[in-house]
Amino acid sequence: MGTLEKANETQLHNILTRTGKTLTDFRMAIEDSGLKKHSDVRKMLMEKFELGYGDANAMIRFVQTLDDQGATQAQYSSMENVIAEIYSGPKSDLRPIHDRLMVVITQLGEYEIAPKKGYISLRKKRQFAMIGPGTKGRMELGLNMKGIAATDRLTELPPGGMCQYKVFLTSVGEVDNEVVGWIKIAYESAG
């Protein structure tokens, strides 16, 4: 089981334990509410079950997986194959960093993954991040955000590129509060 899959399983277990409800209970509550818009369903889950923002988003995803299990499993499997290909061979040592970044990003809320050749693009209304192996055995985290001062770790890139900033990571431990803060800013500024 991959790190991201384990994180999702742990999050689901914690929500169910904390609320005393089953996944089917959540599915029925969503269905009975008649709500269709994601933000309305999230708000209902937060109010009715006292879930936090991230847990409410995750629960919607878990219920969708339950409802669309065949399609979701196939989609997850193909995405997992893309990720496995990106981190094959000498780049395999960077996979744990990728998995840690994805755990952090998944907790932020809804987003789309667009696989590219050699990296993945993460989008809301606009791209907020790019993740992939870089040169010299480093992970490259590209971020789109404005008004942030560059630092030794956060490199500002020339205008007109795919991202405005880049962070190089060589270990899971480098995905610290500073990096998480930059990811949150990029996520929130993507619409």
Q: Is residue 13 part of a domain?
A: yes
Out of 70-79, 141-150, 173-182, which region has the weakest mean confidence (pLDDT)?
70-79
Claim to verify: residue 102 and residue 185 sit in the same structural domain: yes
Q: Is residue 78 part of a domain?
A: no
Claim to verify: residue 102 and residue 182 sit in the same structural domain: yes
Average pLDDT score over residue span 16-31 = 84
How many domains are there within the chain? 2
Claim to verify: residue 120 and residue 161 sit in the same structural domain: yes
Which domain range does residue 63 map to? 3-67
Residue 12 has pLDDT above 60, yes or no: yes
State the SS3 of the chain.
Answer: CCHHHHHHHHHHHHHHHHHCCCHHHHHHHHHHHCCCCHHHHHHHHHHHHCCCHHHHHHHHHHHHHHHCHHHHHHHHHHHHHHHHHHCCHHHHHHHHHHHHHHHHHHCCCCCEEEEECCEEEEECCCEEEEEEECCCCCEEEEECCCCCCCCCCEEECCCCCCCCEEEEECCHHHCCHHHHHHHHHHHHHCC
Q: Is residue 73 part of a domain?
A: no
Query: Is the overall model pTM greater than 0.85, yes or no?
Result: no
Claim to verify: residue 121 and residue 169 sit in the same structural domain: yes
Task: Note the pLDDT tens digit of each residue in 72-128.
Answer: 343 444 677 788 888 888 899 999 999 999 999 989 988 888 888 788 889 888 899
Claim to verify: residue 62 and residue 99 sit in the same structural domain: no
- Check residue 3 and give its pLDDT: 65
Task: Note the pLDDT tens digit of each residue in 157-171.
Answer: 988 788 999 999 999
Q: Is residue 85 part of a domain?
A: no
Confidence band of 16 (pLDDT split at 50, 70, 90): confident
